[in-house]
Amino acid sequence: MEITVLYRDNETIHFLVEGIDVAFANALRRTMLTKLPAMAIDEVLIIENTSVMYDEILAQRLGLVPLVTDLESYNLPEECDCEGKGCSLCQCTLTLEKEAGDEDLIIYSGDLSSQDPKVVPATNGIPLVKLAPGQSIILEAYAKLGTGQENAKFQPVSTVAYKYVPIVTVDTSKCDACGACVDVCPKKIFLLDDGTISTQNTLDCTLCDLCVNSCEPGAITIDSKEDTFLFKVESTGALPPEVIVEKTAELLKEKVRQALDFASSL
């Protein structure tokens, strides 16, 4: 298996994986979505809420705020020595205390203060509730590690998708360079230059077949590589994208090892 990183920024990573089949590609994707833990608020103690928002709705909004996750310092509650009751090794407390003065006040995710500086909202600009003059909110929220299998709020990825790598071939003996494919391609991968059609950025091809249908039969063929996949992973901000991929590979390896152990014990 060979992995080539094509693009990376703080939230996103695009990479090619060669030498795998579609079942393995899907196992990677589903492990990222459902098995890789991330922190999220799971319990909220509302001490005061005079806003117009119901306590339950406010608690649900808090649960959906992505939190920067520290996988090294926290245990999954079910694997913790406290047996999930909640201790400093499996739970982090965030507090919010705000009162509107003479004007409306919008409370943002950045107004939450955390007892652990490593576990904070991934972005400060998520609006939670709007307070009218004189209204106030005091609450304590408890964040824990969980997996997407339990609740989608624990997913560390907002998007994880893969596709086959396209192979776009132009048969110059059948192509009359009419330029129809240049106009019809939504990803602009065809170029008409000096009466010949050439291709560029073929990884952007969405396999829509518009070029094939607009052209002479057989002039353009779109195929895909059987064993190569282009992955696009977008983090919620909980974990850096490359950590998501690394930890997923470790998780998958561990699961395979467990399956082999089980099979050999039969």
Q: Binding residues for Zn ion, per CB under 5 A?
A: 80, 82, 87, 89-90
Shortest gap between Cβ of 113 and Zn ion (angstroms)?
A: 22
Shortest gap between Cβ of 84 and Zn ion (angstroms)?
A: 7
Whether residue 101 contacts residue 133, with contact meaning beta carbons closer than 8 Å, is answered with yes
Reading across the β-sheet that carries 157-170, which strands appear in turn?
2-8, 12-18, 220-235, 157-170
Residue 236 φ/ψ, nearest 5 degrees = -80, -10
Q: Rank residues 6 and 89 by Cβ distance to Zn ion and give the closer one.
A: 89
Shortest gap between Cβ of 81 and Zn ion (angstroms)?
A: 6
Q: Rank residues 59 and 80 by Cβ distance to Zn ion and give the closer one.
A: 80
Pull the structure tokens for residue 30. 């589903």
DSSP symbol at 111:
G
- Residue 13: CB partners within 8 Å, gap ≥ 6? 5, 7, 231, 232, 233, 241, 242, 244, 245
Shortest gap between Cβ of 75 and Zn ion (angstroms)?
A: 6
Q: Rank residues 82 and 132 by Cβ distance to Zn ion and give the closer one.
A: 82
Whether residue 3 contacts residue 17, with contact meaning beta carbons closer than 8 Å, is answered with yes
Shortest gap between Cβ of 145 and Zn ion (angstroms)?
A: 10
- Residue 97: CB partners within 8 Å, gap ≥ 6? 137, 138, 139
Shortest gap between Cβ of 77 and Zn ion (angstroms)?
A: 6
Q: Rank residues 38 and 145 by Cβ distance to Zn ion and give the closer one.
A: 145
Q: Rank residues 80 and 139 by Cβ distance to Zn ion and give the closer one.
A: 80
User: What is the rounded distance in angstroms from the CA atom of residue 136 to the CA atom of residue 24?
Assistant: 51
111 C-beta neighbours (distance < 10 Å), count: 17
CA 87 to chain centre: 28
Q: Rank residues 78 and 216 by Cβ distance to Zn ion and give the closer one.
A: 78
Shortest gap between Cβ of 89 and Zn ion (angstroms)?
A: 5
- Residue 245: CB partners within 8 Å, gap ≥ 6? 13, 15, 32, 233
User: What is the rounded distance in angstroms from the CA atom of residue 186 to the CA atom of residue 65?
Assistant: 35
User: What is the rounded distance in angstroms from the CA atom of residue 162 to the CA atom of residue 225?
Assistant: 13
Q: Rank residues 65 and 80 by Cβ distance to Zn ion and give the closer one.
A: 80
